[in-house]
Amino acid sequence: MFKGRSVIEIMVLWFSFIVGFVLLGIGLMVSITKITHPEANVDRAVNALFSAITIVLGALLGMLSIKGAAQSDLNKRPDEDEGIEVTERTE
């Protein structure tokens, strides 16, 4: 699962897993609260929960798009028409 991944990617995945697990727990608590106390107003909690889910999904999608852009930049060959600047090294 983690073969070939950088440390940053592994940290982001673990962070996302932990945050997702916490959000799932909060969603479960809000649901239980609404079931046991139907008169309770949980609108603010639901809005905060959906905002947090949107932020986490945005972070994951951002990581994927940046990784894809970096990978495509690595696969491109430099133009052979461009001259390479060579400087002499003096010691």
Kindly report which listed range (4-18, 23-37, 65-79) carries the lowest average pLDDT score: 65-79
Task: Tell me phi and psi for residue 3, to 5 degrees.
Answer: -70, 135
The domain spans of the chain are 7-74
Dihedral sign for Cα atoms in the order 3, 59, 72, 8: negative
The number of CA neighbours under 13 Å toward the Cβ of 47 is 4
Task: Render pLDDT for 15-47 as a digit per residue (tens, 0 to 9).
Answer: 888 988 999 999 999 999 999 999 999 999 999
